[in-house]
Amino acid sequence: MTKINDLDKIDMQILSFLMEDAKMPYTEIAKILFISSGTVHVRMKKMEELGVIKSSNLQVNYEKLGYDITAFIGVHLRNSNLYNEVVKKFEEIPEIVDVHYTTGEYSMFVKIICKDTRHLRSVLHEKIQKIDEISRTETFISLEESINRTIKIDIEEFSDNTSTAE
């Protein structure tokens, strides 16, 4: 498991820039931090290998592509130890974009993106609710997403140790 000691202030500054703008060129980050672009590349690779960076994704406005419905589905499992089996089945449903194992009312909370209510109903009835391990679901349609952002990380809590630059 990655420990906070595996990263230093330079790593966190690089990460912070890219969390703000994932398209920011390594050369620009290097100029700002007074390091080489190769150092940025090496440190990014290190953070990927440590599992700090899971992936690089585009944020797409699905509405512009004809996907007008974003919904959240509270899922009740027949038994909580069925979670991993259900996740594997959810991976086969392309409309599901997020799955969380939760406490409280639901065993799982799922985010789904569909073209319209007919598409949503089809995915619910023909895919999700046919999974034997699910006892019932409750669907919440999102009317608007007002905030979608990354968190701001506190760079100052990381050491200035740059002896592991490359």
pLDDT in tens, 6-24: 889 999 999 999 998 989 9
Residue 128 forms part of a structural domain: yes
Q: What is the pLDDT of residues 27-71, one digit of tens each?
A: 999 999 999 999 999 999 999 999 999 988 888 999 999 999 999
Q: Which one, of 126, 70, 77, lies nearest residue 106 by Cα? A: 77
The per-residue pLDDT for 6 is 81
Is the pLDDT higher at 130 or at 157?
130
Q: Are residues 75 and 115 in the same domain?
A: yes
The model's confidence at residue 95, banded by pLDDT at 50, 70 and 90, is: very high
9 CA to centre of own chain? 23
Strand partners, 98: 111
Same structural domain for residues 12 and 42? yes
Q: Which of 57, 75, 102 is the last residue of a domain?
A: 57
CATH number reported for the structural domain that contains residue 100 in this entry: 3.30.70.920
Residues 118, 71: contact at Cβ < 8 Å? no
> Do 69 and 134 sit in the same domain of this protein?
yes
pTM of the model: 0.80
Question: Are 77 and 48 found together in one domain?
Answer: no
Q: Could you tell me if residue 111 is inside a domain?
A: yes
Quote the number of domains for the chain.
Answer: 2
Residue 117 reports pLDDT greater than 70: yes
